[in-house]
Amino acid sequence: MKQVDLLYTGKAKSVYRTDDPDVYIMKFRDDITAFDGGKKDTLGGKGRYNAEVSSFFFRYLEENGIRTHYLASVEPAVIAVRGLTMIPLEVIVRNVAAGSIVRNYPFREGEVLDPPVIVIDYKSDAHHDPMLNDDLIYALGLATPEELDQIKAMALAINEVLSEYLDARGITLVDFKLEFGRSNAEIVVGDEISMDSMRLWDKETGASLDKDVYRFNKGDVLETYAGVAKRILAPPKGGSA
Confidence at residue 237, expressed as pLDDT on a 0 to 100 scale = 72
> Do 145 and 53 fall into the same domain?
no
Query: Would you say residue 241 lies in a domain?
Result: no
> Do 93 and 208 fall into the same domain?
yes
Domain boundary, last residue among 82, 113, 146:
82
> Do 98 and 60 fall into the same domain?
no
Rounded Cα distance between 173 and 167, Å, is 8
Confidence at residue 63, expressed as pLDDT on a 0 to 100 scale = 98
> Do 67 and 112 fall into the same domain?
no
Domain that holds residue 145: 85-219
Domain boundary, last residue among 57, 82, 107:
82
What residue ranges of the chain have pLDDT lower than 70? 238-241
> Do 122 and 18 fall into the same domain?
no
Confidence at residue 1, expressed as pLDDT on a 0 to 100 scale = 80
Q: CATH number for the domain including 151?
A: 3.30.470.20
Q: How many domains does the chain have?
A: 2
Confidence at residue 134, expressed as pLDDT on a 0 to 100 scale = 98
> Do 50 and 114 fall into the same domain?
no
> Do 160 and 182 fall into the same domain?
yes
Confidence at residue 174, expressed as pLDDT on a 0 to 100 scale = 98
Confidence at residue 37, expressed as pLDDT on a 0 to 100 scale = 85
Query: Would you say residue 236 lies in a domain?
Result: no
> Do 61 and 91 fall into the same domain?
no
